Amino acid sequence: MNQPARITVVGGGSWATAIIKILSEGNNHIRWWLRSQRDAGHIRKFHHNPSYLSDVQISPRKVRVCTKIKDALSTSDYIILAVPAAFVSDALQGVKPEQLAGKSIVSAIKGMIPEKNQLITDWAEQEFGVPSGRIAVIAGPCHAEEVALEKQSYLTIASQNLDFASEVAQFLNGRFVQTSALDDIYGVEYCAVMKNIIALACGITHGLGYGDNFQAVLVSNAMQEIRRFVDRVYPMPRDLSASAYLGDLLVTAYSPFSRNRTFGHLIGRGYSVQSAQMEMNMIAEGYYAVKSIHEINRQHGVLMPIMEMVYTVLYEKTSPVVATNALKTVLK
């Protein structure tokens, strides 16, 4: 890429802040949209996000902070979406398809549009007419907190257009982040959604006092569930042991940085959904995703007992003890 990439990041949370840090390492022109006027003003004055990853220094030379979405999008060629899936429509409210003409969309969202049960990439193509060949997703085991600490991390960029995926991978590649490209956009995106649900299951069972032995069986069975589901909804040759799939699942299921695991742990300890949501400062994407996957699977009938366990606990108010006892009988 000869010319600096002109990129807008949409979102003010920890992952958006981490992406800003990654992009700032390269020769990129960056606009950063945040909803919060207070946080935006603080970043302009003190050069760090007061609400998330506050140790990350934001270069005012490279990053222009915006609170008006139209200003943020106007001169950029690439739009990176890094807000919770439930709020992406609100973030882009008022944006017309013609304002995104000629622009590319990169989703860093590991969730689905609630109620519509729609992947972010499909939503972007349908709502704004962005060609599928100019849409990509960012995947892989890459916690924002470790990016802030500059710990070696790996990202996979997936798109139906492998050349475009490589293009995006190039401007995200850097000193402590290594990137690769893949053409299995739907497999990668569904796996990113479903690993959050598995992390909820791991958190619930850990909160109930189950140990590492059970967690290992849970995760290995979960990988089989994911394989059955993605092979049904989007069959193509894929290696689910790659880091974009299995790696992302493992880090989300086991890491103390995982908000979905933390949310599940609170549920396992006896918190209600509302209490657990109030306890956390961040959105657990798996809470919304499990309802979407449950409803999509009505059409496909894939055997997914772990997904169903999480759904019954969160949406049908089944006791975590009762639901886990039932799950134990089908794991192998």
Active site residues: 195
**DSSP string covering 187-209, please?**
HHHHHHHHHHHHHHHHHHHHHTT
Q: Which two tokens stand for residue 228?
A: 């059955």
Taking the CB of residue 303, how many other CB atoms lie within 10 A of it?
Answer: 12
Residues in contact with 291: Cβ distance below 8 Å, sequence separation at least 6, in sequence order: 114, 311, 314, 315
DSSP secondary structure string for all residues of 54-121: TTS---TTTEEEESSHHHHHTT-SEEEE-S-GGGHHHHTTT--GGGGTT-EEEE---SEETTTTEEHH
**Cβ atoms of residues 140 and 133 within 8 Å:** no
Q: What is the rounded CA–CA span in Å between residue 19 and residue 27? A: 14
Strand partners, 180: 156
187 touches 300 (CB < 8 A): no
Q: Which long-range contacts (CB under 8 A, 24 or more apart) does 68-72 make?
A: 68/33, 69/10, 69/33, 69/93, 69/94, 69/95, 70/94, 70/95, 70/99, 71/31, 72/8, 72/10, 72/31, 72/32, 72/33
Question: Which of these, 151, 277, 289, lies nearest to 226 by C-alpha position?
Answer: 289
Task: Please tell me the distance from the alpha carbon of residue 129 to that of residue 142, in angstroms, as a whole number.
Answer: 29
- Helix orientation angle between 185-207 and 320-328, rounded to the nearest 10 degrees: 110
Q: State phi, psi for 42 to the nearest 5 degrees.
A: -65, -40
| Residue 124 and residue 31 in contact, taking contact as beta carbons nearer than 8 Å | no
The residue count of the chain comes to 332
